[in-house]
């Protein structure tokens, strides 16, 4: 069941592993480089792997034991259920036998103790033709009732007739009530129809009145719109007439003719001056356009001269920077080679000093050094 196998085999494997670890540990301890720098990472990885393997095996073993325990618990529960069912069946059988034994009616002497024994006895005779009675039996005993069965049958028949009569009366009453309910429902339906007709008539009257008022309102609104349009048209005509009058008035339209002087067109009246004429304005605009074009041409020529000047300067800068870059690259290469040679010399000196120190440390350690404590410590 256990995942680890034979216990003795596991002990042998563990002893072999300890021997391998001891040999590896001694080798690492004798190595000055490993002792100085630190523990070997490969050994640590091997230890981690071994621990993980052990943890996995223990986990598998625990899972197997847990499964076995679960199976045992299930088996025990099933066995307990079986025992409980068997005990319940035995208890039920015992209770049934106990009840049977306690019942006095099944005993042989019950006829002597039965309180109803006299009631169960047969009467002396059951009629005038009873064969068990002889000539001496032709007598009437006190308290006998030979017509009891007949009376009971007659009473049952009478009760049946009364019940049928009551059922018939009840059915008639139910039919009458149903007919009354039907007539009431018809009356209620007629009444609802009459109310609906009245409501429909009132609704129709209201609808007709509403339509009449709507038509009247539409007509009034149409008349108001026509009146507003007529008033606006009259107002627009008056406004147009005023505009035409203002345009025809030389003073209001600010006509330049009003500034003409009586002495000639080369003079104007200051109090009537309305600005230059269209010919003068056109001449001024022509001169301004020529000035704008001339300014654009001068700016283009200046920009071309500046571009040529900056291009010459850029070429000179590129030539100078190219010469400086070559000299800088050569100087950087010489400095780099000198720096690499210096670093190589320093590294060689460090390695030589480290090797001499390790040789001196290893010269004083041999196998007898480990025997002074009779065991070694973990490194």
Q: What is the pLDDT along the chain (379 residues), one digit of tens a residue?
A: 444 456 677 778 888 888 888 888 887 777 766 666 666 677 778 888 888 998 998 899 888 888 888 888 888 888 899 999 999 999 999 999 888 888 888 777 887 888 888 777 776 666 666 666 666 655 666 666 777 778 888 889 989 999 999 999 999 999 999 998 888 888 888 888 888 887 777 787 788 888 888 888 888 888 898 999 999 989 888 888 888 877 776 666 556 655 555 555 556 666 665 666 677 778 888 888 888 888 888 888 888 877 777 777 776 666 666 555 666 667 767 777 777 778 788 888 888 887 787 777 666 655 565 555 444 444 4
The pLDDT value recorded for residue 378 is: 41
Quickly count: other Cβ atoms within 10 Å of residue 379's Cβ: 13
Task: Identify the domain boundary among 252, 271, 290.
Answer: 271
Residue 264 shares a structural domain with residue 206: yes
The tokens describing 13, both together, are 């494997």
The answer to whether position 361 is within a domain reads no
Same domain? For 238 and 299 the reply is: no
Q: Looking at the DSSP assignment, which residues form a beta bridge with residue 268?
A: 260
Distances (CA, A) of 89 to 93, 144, 240: 6, 53, 123
Task: Tell me what pLDDT residue 2 has.
Answer: 43
* DSSP 3-state of 54: helix
Domain assignment present for residue 119? The answer is no
- The 3-state DSSP class for residue 260 equals strand
The whole-angstrom separation of Cα 38 and Cα 258 is 115
- Give 266's DSSP letter: E
Domain boundary among 83, 103, 123: 103
Tokens matching residue 157 = 């028949």
Sign of the alpha-carbon dihedral angle for 286, 287, 292, 293: positive
Same domain, 219 and 289: no
Give domain status of residue 218, yes or no: yes
The Cα angle at residue 95 between residues 92 and 99, in degrees rounded to 5: 140
Residue 297, pLDDT score:
86
Q: Does 51 reside within a domain?
A: yes
- Tokens of residue 92, six digits: 């039920």
d(CA 366, CA 379): 17
Say how far apart CA 272 and CA 292 lie, in whole Å.
Answer: 34
Those residues with Cβ within 8 angstroms of residue 137's Cβ, 6 or more apart along the chain or in another chain: 124, 125, 130
Residues 248 and 287 in one domain: no
Predicted pLDDT of residue 1: 42
3 state DSSP class of 367: helix
From CA 105, how far away is CA 95, in angstroms rounded? Answer: 17
Question: For residue 364, what pLDDT is reported?
Answer: 60
Rounded to whole angstroms, the Cα distance separating 170 from 190 reads 30
The predicted structure's pLDDT at residue 93: 92
Smallest Cα–Cα separation from 245: which of 234, 253, 235?
253
Residues in the chain: 379
d(CA 25, CA 336): 45
How large is the greatest C-alpha to C-alpha distance in the chain, in angstroms? 191
Same domain? For 17 and 45 the reply is: yes
Token couple for 221 = 């609104």
If you ran DSSP here, which 8-state letter would residue 121 be given? S
Backbone φ/ψ region at 5: left (φ over 0), alpha (ψ -120 to 50), beta: left
Residues 6+ apart with CB under 8 A from 312: none
Q: Are residues 99 and 14 in the same domain?
A: yes
- Clarify whether residues 59 and 98 are in a common domain: yes
Query: Same domain, yes or no, for 260 and 198?
Result: yes
Residues 57 and 24 in one domain: yes
CA-based radius of gyration for the chain: 69
Phi-psi region of 40 (alpha: psi -120 to 50; beta: other; left: phi over 0): beta
Residues 98 and 23 in one domain: yes
368 within a domain of the structure (yes/no):
no
Closest CA to 358 of 36, 71, 120, 78: 36
Number of domains composing the chain: 3
pTM of the model: 0.22
Say how far apart CA 125 and CA 135 lie, in whole Å.
12
Inter-residue contact 270 to 276 (CB < 8 Å): no
In the listed set 50, 85, 103, which residue is the last one of a domain according to the structure? 103
Q: Tell me which residue range forms the domain holding 289.
A: 276-306
DSSP string across 283-308:
HHHHHHHHHHHHHHHHHHHHHHHHHH
Q: Looking at the domain assignment, is residue 55 inside a domain?
A: yes
Residues 267 and 281 in one domain: no
Q: 261 with 280, same domain?
A: no
Task: Decide if 111 is inside a domain.
Answer: no
Helices (H), the chain: 7-30, 32-37, 41-102, 110-113, 117-120, 148-248, 278-363
pLDDT of residue 92: 93
Please report whether residue 133 resides in a domain.
no
Integer Cα distance of 308 and 143 in angstroms = 162
């Amino acid at each position: 069941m256990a995942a680890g196998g034979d216990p003795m085999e596991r002990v042998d494997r563990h002893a072999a592993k300890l021997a391998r670890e001891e040999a590896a540990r001694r080798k690492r301890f004798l190595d000055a480089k490993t002792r100085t720098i630190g523990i070997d990472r490969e050994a640590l990885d091997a230890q981690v792997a071994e621990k993980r393997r052990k943890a996995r095996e223990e986990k598998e073993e625990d899972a197997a034991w847990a499964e076995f325990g679960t199976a045992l618990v299930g088996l025990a529960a099933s066995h307990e259920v079986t025992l409980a069912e068997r005990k319940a069946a035995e208890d039920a059988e015992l209770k049934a036998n106990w009840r049977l034994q306690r019942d006095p009616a099944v005993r042989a002497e019950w006829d002597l103790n039965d309180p109803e024994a006299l009631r169960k006895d047969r009467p002396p005779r059951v009629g005038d033709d009873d064969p068990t009675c002889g000539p001496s039996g032709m007598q009437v005993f006190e308290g006998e009732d030979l017509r009891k069965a007949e009376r009971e049958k007659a009473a049952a028949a009478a009760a049946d007739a009364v019940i049928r009569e009551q059922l018939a009366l009840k059915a008639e009453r139910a039919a009458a009530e149903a007919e009354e309910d039907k007539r009431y429902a018809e009356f209620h339906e007629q009444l609802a129809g009459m109310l609906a007709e009245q409501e429909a008539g009132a609704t129709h009257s209201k609808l007709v009145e509403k339509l009449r008022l709507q038509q009247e309102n539409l007509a009034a609104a149409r008349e108001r719109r026509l009146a507003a349009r007529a008033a606006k048209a009259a107002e627009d005509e008056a406004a147009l007439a005023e505009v035409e009058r203002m345009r025809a008035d030389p003073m209001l339209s600010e006509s330049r003719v009003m500034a003409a002087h009586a002495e000639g067109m080369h003079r104007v009246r200051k109090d009537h001056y309305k600005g230059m004429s269209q010919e003068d304005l056109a001449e001024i605009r022509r001169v301004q356009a020529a000035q704008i074009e001339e300014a654009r041409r001068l700016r283009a020529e200046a920009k071309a001269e500046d571009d040529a000047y900056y291009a010459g300067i850029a070429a000179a800068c590129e030539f100078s920077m190219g010469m400086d870059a070559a000299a800088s690259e050569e100087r950087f290469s010489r400095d780099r080679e000198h720096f690499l040679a210096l670093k190589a010399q320093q590294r060689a000196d460090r390695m030589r000093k480290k090797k001499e120190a390790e040789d001196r440390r290893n010269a004083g350690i041999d196998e007898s050094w480990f025997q002074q404590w009779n065991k070694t410590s973990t490194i």
